[in-house]
Amino acid sequence: MSGFVSFVSSGPGDPELLTVKAVKRLEQADVVLFDDLSSGPILSLAREGADLIGVGKRAGRPSPKQDHVSRVLVEYAQADMHVVRLKSGDSGMFGRLEEELTALRAAGIPFEIIPGVTSASAAAATAGIPLTRRLTARRVQFITGADVSGDLPPDVNMAALADPLATTVVYMGKRTFAGLAAQLIAHGLPADTPAMLAEAVSTPAERLERFTIATLAAHLGELSTSTPALIFYGPLAGPYS
Protein backbone atom coordinates (compact mmCIF):
# COMPACT_ATOMS: atom_id res chain seq x y z
CA MET A 1 0.00 0.00 0.00
CA SER A 2 1.39 3.40 -1.03
CA GLY A 3 -1.33 5.58 0.43
CA PHE A 4 -0.23 8.43 2.67
CA VAL A 5 -2.00 11.13 4.68
CA SER A 6 -0.70 14.65 5.26
CA PHE A 7 -2.45 16.54 8.02
CA VAL A 8 -2.09 20.08 6.74
CA SER A 9 -2.78 22.98 9.07
CA SER A 10 -4.37 25.75 7.01
CA GLY A 11 -4.01 28.55 9.54
CA PRO A 12 -6.87 30.89 10.42
CA GLY A 13 -8.02 31.58 6.85
CA ASP A 14 -5.55 33.85 5.06
CA PRO A 15 -3.75 31.73 2.38
CA GLU A 16 -0.60 33.81 2.89
CA LEU A 17 -0.30 32.39 6.42
CA LEU A 18 0.16 28.84 5.09
CA THR A 19 3.61 27.33 5.45
CA VAL A 20 5.66 26.48 2.36
CA LYS A 21 5.34 22.78 3.21
CA ALA A 22 1.55 23.08 3.47
CA VAL A 23 1.34 24.59 -0.02
CA LYS A 24 3.56 21.85 -1.44
CA ARG A 25 1.35 19.12 -0.01
CA LEU A 26 -1.78 20.73 -1.47
CA GLU A 27 -0.07 20.81 -4.85
CA GLN A 28 0.74 17.09 -4.59
CA ALA A 29 -2.54 15.74 -3.20
CA ASP A 30 -4.86 13.33 -5.01
CA VAL A 31 -7.70 14.18 -2.64
CA VAL A 32 -8.26 16.95 -0.08
CA LEU A 33 -10.63 16.45 2.84
CA PHE A 34 -11.23 19.94 4.18
CA ASP A 35 -12.88 21.62 7.15
CA ASP A 36 -15.39 24.44 6.59
CA LEU A 37 -12.95 27.04 7.87
CA SER A 38 -10.25 25.75 5.50
CA SER A 39 -12.30 26.25 2.35
CA GLY A 40 -12.46 29.28 0.05
CA PRO A 41 -9.25 30.64 -1.46
CA ILE A 42 -7.02 28.05 0.24
CA LEU A 43 -8.55 25.30 -1.89
CA SER A 44 -7.43 27.08 -5.04
CA LEU A 45 -3.90 25.96 -4.13
CA ALA A 46 -4.81 22.29 -4.54
CA ARG A 47 -3.55 20.38 -7.56
CA GLU A 48 -5.80 20.66 -10.61
CA GLY A 49 -7.86 17.50 -10.79
CA ALA A 50 -7.65 16.68 -7.09
CA ASP A 51 -10.90 15.63 -5.46
CA LEU A 52 -12.07 18.24 -2.93
CA ILE A 53 -14.36 16.84 -0.24
CA GLY A 54 -15.90 18.92 2.53
CA VAL A 55 -15.99 17.15 5.91
CA GLY A 56 -16.19 20.17 8.19
CA LYS A 57 -18.13 20.30 11.43
CA ARG A 58 -19.80 23.51 12.58
CA ALA A 59 -21.79 24.00 15.76
CA GLY A 60 -25.54 23.97 15.20
CA ARG A 61 -25.30 22.74 11.60
CA PRO A 62 -25.73 19.28 10.05
CA SER A 63 -22.24 17.87 9.56
CA PRO A 64 -20.37 14.57 9.18
CA LYS A 65 -19.79 12.54 12.31
CA GLN A 66 -16.17 12.08 13.37
CA ASP A 67 -16.19 8.32 12.80
CA HIS A 68 -17.41 8.92 9.22
CA VAL A 69 -14.58 11.40 8.58
CA SER A 70 -12.01 8.96 9.96
CA ARG A 71 -13.42 6.11 7.84
CA VAL A 72 -13.32 8.16 4.63
CA LEU A 73 -9.74 9.19 5.40
CA VAL A 74 -8.69 5.56 5.76
CA GLU A 75 -10.56 4.44 2.63
CA TYR A 76 -8.87 7.00 0.37
CA ALA A 77 -5.43 6.16 1.75
CA GLN A 78 -6.11 2.43 1.27
CA ALA A 79 -6.82 3.22 -2.38
CA ASP A 80 -3.13 4.25 -2.66
CA MET A 81 -3.85 7.98 -2.77
CA HIS A 82 -1.93 10.87 -1.26
CA VAL A 83 -4.57 12.42 0.99
CA VAL A 84 -4.39 15.89 2.47
CA ARG A 85 -6.54 16.31 5.55
CA LEU A 86 -6.87 20.09 5.65
CA LYS A 87 -7.64 21.37 9.13
CA SER A 88 -8.16 24.97 10.18
CA GLY A 89 -5.71 26.81 12.42
CA ASP A 90 -3.15 24.40 13.80
CA SER A 91 -4.40 20.82 13.42
CA GLY A 92 -3.36 19.92 16.96
CA MET A 93 -5.33 22.75 18.59
CA PHE A 94 -8.93 21.69 19.31
CA GLY A 95 -9.09 20.03 15.89
CA ARG A 96 -9.94 16.42 16.91
CA LEU A 97 -6.68 15.34 15.35
CA GLU A 98 -6.15 12.44 17.74
CA GLU A 99 -9.26 10.51 16.63
CA GLU A 100 -8.08 10.56 13.03
CA LEU A 101 -4.53 9.59 13.96
CA THR A 102 -5.90 6.64 15.92
CA ALA A 103 -7.85 5.43 12.87
CA LEU A 104 -4.78 5.68 10.63
CA ARG A 105 -2.55 3.88 13.11
CA ALA A 106 -5.10 1.06 13.43
CA ALA A 107 -5.12 0.67 9.64
CA GLY A 108 -1.33 0.84 9.36
CA ILE A 109 -1.39 3.97 7.20
CA PRO A 110 1.63 6.31 7.34
CA PHE A 111 1.06 10.01 7.94
CA GLU A 112 2.71 13.32 8.69
CA ILE A 113 1.54 16.39 10.61
CA ILE A 114 2.33 19.85 9.26
CA PRO A 115 1.85 22.53 11.93
CA GLY A 116 0.30 25.90 11.21
CA VAL A 117 -0.56 29.31 12.62
CA THR A 118 -3.25 29.02 15.25
CA SER A 119 -5.91 31.72 15.20
CA ALA A 120 -4.83 33.01 18.62
CA SER A 121 -1.42 34.02 17.25
CA ALA A 122 -3.01 35.58 14.16
CA ALA A 123 -5.53 37.57 16.21
CA ALA A 124 -2.84 38.87 18.55
CA ALA A 125 -0.76 39.96 15.56
CA THR A 126 -3.71 41.81 14.02
CA ALA A 127 -4.45 43.49 17.36
CA GLY A 128 -0.81 44.58 17.62
CA ILE A 129 -0.27 42.87 20.96
CA PRO A 130 2.05 40.16 22.28
CA LEU A 131 0.66 37.12 24.08
CA THR A 132 3.13 37.47 26.94
CA ARG A 133 4.74 40.26 28.93
CA ARG A 134 7.42 40.05 31.59
CA LEU A 135 6.01 40.27 35.11
CA THR A 136 2.36 40.94 34.21
CA ALA A 137 1.48 38.22 31.64
CA ARG A 138 3.93 35.41 32.25
CA ARG A 139 1.67 32.56 31.14
CA VAL A 140 -0.58 31.80 28.17
CA GLN A 141 -3.42 29.30 28.32
CA PHE A 142 -5.64 28.12 25.46
CA ILE A 143 -8.96 26.56 26.46
CA THR A 144 -12.14 25.39 24.81
CA GLY A 145 -15.38 27.04 25.82
CA ALA A 146 -17.49 24.06 24.76
CA ASP A 147 -17.41 20.34 25.51
CA VAL A 148 -18.95 17.66 23.28
CA SER A 149 -22.44 18.79 24.28
CA GLY A 150 -21.70 22.42 23.41
CA ASP A 151 -21.79 23.49 27.05
CA LEU A 152 -19.02 24.92 29.19
CA PRO A 153 -16.87 22.00 30.39
CA PRO A 154 -17.80 21.32 34.04
CA ASP A 155 -14.32 20.31 35.15
CA VAL A 156 -12.25 23.34 34.16
CA ASN A 157 -9.60 24.56 36.59
CA MET A 158 -11.26 27.81 37.58
CA ALA A 159 -8.39 28.91 39.83
CA ALA A 160 -6.04 28.75 36.83
CA LEU A 161 -8.52 30.51 34.55
CA ALA A 162 -8.95 33.33 37.08
CA ASP A 163 -5.20 33.99 37.20
CA PRO A 164 -4.81 37.77 36.65
CA LEU A 165 -1.23 37.29 35.43
CA ALA A 166 -2.16 35.03 32.51
CA THR A 167 -3.29 35.65 28.97
CA THR A 168 -6.24 33.33 28.39
CA VAL A 169 -7.64 32.53 24.96
CA VAL A 170 -11.04 30.83 24.72
CA TYR A 171 -11.82 28.89 21.57
CA MET A 172 -15.47 28.17 20.69
CA GLY A 173 -16.66 30.17 23.66
CA LYS A 174 -19.14 32.79 22.44
CA ARG A 175 -22.20 30.88 23.60
CA THR A 176 -20.81 29.94 27.01
CA PHE A 177 -18.74 32.97 27.92
CA ALA A 178 -21.42 34.65 30.02
CA GLY A 179 -21.43 31.64 32.33
CA LEU A 180 -17.65 31.45 32.34
CA ALA A 181 -17.32 35.16 33.16
CA ALA A 182 -19.67 34.79 36.13
CA GLN A 183 -17.50 31.98 37.49
CA LEU A 184 -14.29 33.92 36.87
CA ILE A 185 -15.60 36.90 38.81
CA ALA A 186 -16.79 34.60 41.62
CA HIS A 187 -13.25 33.19 41.79
CA GLY A 188 -11.73 36.64 42.22
CA LEU A 189 -10.93 37.86 38.70
CA PRO A 190 -11.93 41.55 38.59
CA ALA A 191 -14.98 42.28 36.46
CA ASP A 192 -13.05 45.04 34.69
CA THR A 193 -10.34 42.64 33.46
CA PRO A 194 -9.67 43.54 29.79
CA ALA A 195 -11.22 41.25 27.17
CA MET A 196 -11.17 41.12 23.38
CA LEU A 197 -13.51 39.44 20.92
CA ALA A 198 -11.77 38.42 17.67
CA GLU A 199 -14.10 37.24 14.91
CA ALA A 200 -13.28 35.74 11.49
CA VAL A 201 -9.57 36.18 12.13
CA SER A 202 -7.37 36.91 9.08
CA THR A 203 -10.32 36.97 6.65
CA PRO A 204 -11.95 39.98 4.93
CA ALA A 205 -14.70 39.81 7.57
CA GLU A 206 -12.26 40.09 10.48
CA ARG A 207 -13.46 42.15 13.43
CA LEU A 208 -11.78 42.92 16.76
CA GLU A 209 -13.63 44.55 19.66
CA ARG A 210 -12.39 45.46 23.16
CA PHE A 211 -14.44 44.95 26.32
CA THR A 212 -14.06 43.95 29.94
CA ILE A 213 -15.04 40.41 30.89
CA ALA A 214 -18.28 41.77 32.37
CA THR A 215 -19.26 43.90 29.36
CA LEU A 216 -18.26 41.14 26.92
CA ALA A 217 -20.47 38.66 28.78
CA ALA A 218 -23.39 41.10 28.45
CA HIS A 219 -22.60 41.73 24.77
CA LEU A 220 -22.46 38.03 23.90
CA GLY A 221 -25.66 37.39 25.81
CA GLU A 222 -27.47 39.57 23.26
CA LEU A 223 -25.58 38.23 20.22
CA SER A 224 -26.59 35.27 18.04
CA THR A 225 -24.17 34.77 15.15
CA SER A 226 -22.29 31.71 13.93
CA THR A 227 -19.16 33.67 12.98
CA PRO A 228 -16.10 31.81 14.30
CA ALA A 229 -14.50 33.75 17.12
CA LEU A 230 -11.89 33.76 19.85
CA ILE A 231 -12.08 35.47 23.21
CA PHE A 232 -8.98 36.89 24.88
CA TYR A 233 -8.89 38.10 28.45
CA GLY A 234 -6.08 39.22 30.71
CA PRO A 235 -3.74 42.19 31.09
CA LEU A 236 -2.83 42.32 27.37
CA ALA A 237 -6.35 42.10 25.97
CA GLY A 238 -7.17 45.79 26.39
CA PRO A 239 -5.94 48.75 24.32
CA TYR A 240 -2.17 48.40 24.06
CA SER A 241 -0.04 50.76 26.11
Please report the sign of the dihedral spanned by the C-alpha atoms of residue 156, residue 133, residue 227, residue 67.
negative
Look up 57 and say whether it is catalytic.
yes
Active-site residue, from 35, 81, 87, 90: 35
Give the separation between CA 175 and CA 151, rounded to whole angstroms: 8
Residue among 15, 24, 21, 19 nearest 43 (CA): 15
Answer yes or no: 35 catalytic: yes
CB atoms within 10 A of CB 48: 5
Confirm whether 192 is a catalytic residue. Answer: no
Contact (Cβ atoms closer than 8 angstroms) between residue 187 and residue 159: yes
From residue 181, how far is each of 6, 64, 157, 219 by CA, in Å?
A: 38, 32, 14, 12
State the catalytic residue, choosing from 21, 24, 36, 57: 57
Q: Are 46 and 151 in contact (CB under 8 A)?
A: no
Please tell me which residue in 81, 93, 163, 172 is annotated as part of the active site.
172
- Tally the C-alpha atoms within 13 A of residue 182's C-alpha that lie toward its C-beta: 7
- Residues found in the chain: 241
**Residues annotated catalytic, as ranges:** 35, 57, 172
